[in-house]
Amino acid sequence: MFLYLIDLFGTAVFAVSGVILAGKLRMDPFGVIVLGGVTAIGGGTIRDIMLDATPIFWIHDTTYLWVILSTCFLTMMIVRRPKRIPWWVLPVCDAIGLAVFVGIGVDKALAYQDSYLVAVMMGVLTGCGGGIIRDVLAREIPMVLRHEVYATACIVGGIFHTTAIALEYNHQIALLAGLVSTLIIRLGAIRWHLSLPVFAMNK
């Protein structure tokens, strides 16, 4: 139940990031909901389709849709008011949601197949897929394709998670290992502005 509640929290946070981008692009309310929705559940939807996991998680549990709709409407109302929110609040909440999404993605992948490599990939897809769709719709280069330490944190978290399972650790310990490692790396990147080296061609 605790993991489920954190999953809903992560869904809300991801939806907020979609709404904020939609606001910067001056979208109408429908556009705001679409961008918030694909950010929140896009990665998990692609994961379920690829794993042939039916029904897709938000069809099986419509609570996710209500969380997204509520978050979108509340965010649209709140951001119009001149309240100062510390810059780190959204990135930190996003990091928590990201860690949970990766853990859930790895877990679900292992429930449907046996490859640890595929499980790590599904964890990364769950965590980053929605953001990629959001950025593509907004005509921006997806953040995970730039120098941001984002997908890297997901990959390391997935590796910790699957390695702990391969070493026959308790399921909860393995999940916690993945969550904590993803979270630490992402928070460290936020705190110290860490980034990966970029590949650039000489002109």
Cis previous bond, 55, omega within 30: yes
Is it the case that residue 201 has pLDDT exceeding 80? no
- What single string gives the DSSP state of each residue in 28-82? -HHHHHHHHHHHHHHHHHHHHHHHT-SS-HHHH-THHHHHHHHHHHHHHHHTTS-
Beta bridge partners of 64: none
Kindly state the tokens that stand for 152: 């890297």
**Where does the pLDDT of residue 151 fall: very low under 50, low under 70, confident under 90, or very high at 90 and above?**
very high
Q: What is the pLDDT of residues 97-127, one digit of tens each?
A: 999 999 999 999 999 999 999 999 999 999 9
If one counts every other C-beta atom within 10 angstroms of the C-beta of residue 31, the result is: 17
| Average per-residue pLDDT for the chain | 92
If one counts every other C-beta atom within 10 angstroms of the C-beta of residue 105, the result is: 31
What is the separation of C-alpha 67 from the centre of its chain, rounded to a whole number of angstroms?
Answer: 15
Q: Please state which of the ranges 48-57, 74-83, 152-161 shows the lowest mean pLDDT.
A: 74-83
**Where does the pLDDT of residue 30 fall: very low under 50, low under 70, confident under 90, or very high at 90 and above?**
very high
pTM beyond 0.85: the answer is yes
The single-letter code of the amino acid at 4 is Y
What sign for the dihedral angle of Cα 118, 6, 63, 40? negative
Is it the case that residue 202 has pLDDT exceeding 80? no
